[in-house]
Each structure stands twice: as C-alpha cells, then as structure tokens.
C-alpha cells in the first residue's frame, strides 16, 4: 500500500496505538476497541510487531471485519480495519 491508498484518504473513526506490543496483544487490543464501534466504523491501528502483518488480516477474516490495508512507516505499520456488521 502507499500513502495515496484510498483506504487511508479519510480520517478513521477511532485509533489504537499498539506500538511496543507483541503478538497476540495488537489483535486482542483491536478486538476490544472494535467492540465499542458501530458497524462500518474504521479503526486505525499502529503496530510494530512483525507478526501483525499476518495476524491483523487473519483476525479480520475470522471475525468478519474488512481489512482495508496497511501502510509501512520507518519503524511501524499503520493498519485500517472496517468493523463488520
């Protein structure tokens, strides 16, 4: 993904800073944060756990959320998740 990805053009409805957390904590924190959001809301999560690149899309597929993509930064990734219905 690039900084010009349409999934990252709008502001997210909520954000989560999971930098410094290791597997499975980024996904567990995302699950908890998504529970309080309305269906269709977008969560932006920052994470630097190398396993999150695999874990976040897998979590979305299993939980019924839409994985909108990720952007790589110098020292972390930015993930976007749309809450499923």
Alpha carbon distance 69, 43 (integer Å)? 11
Helix axes 25-35, 52-63, angle to 10 degrees: 40
Q: Please tell me the number of Cα atoms within 13 Å of 26 on its side-chain side.
A: 32
Which of 1, 14, 21, 23 is catalytic? The answer is 23
Residue pair 77/50 in contact by the 8 Å Cβ criterion: no
Whether residue 23 lies in the annotated active site: yes
Residue pair 31/59 in contact by the 8 Å Cβ criterion: yes
Catalytic residues: 23
């Amino acid at each position: 993904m690039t900084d010009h990805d349409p999934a990252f053009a709008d502001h997210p409805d909520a954000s989560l800073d999971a930098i410094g957390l290791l597997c499975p904590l980024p996904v567990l924190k995302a699950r908890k944060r998504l529970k309080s959001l309305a269906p269709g809301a977008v969560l932006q999560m920052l994470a630097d756990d190398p396993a999150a690149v695999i874990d976040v899309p897998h979590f979305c597929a299993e939980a019924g959320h839409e994985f909108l993509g990720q952007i790589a930064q110098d020292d972390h990734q930015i993930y976007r998740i749309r809450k499923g219905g």
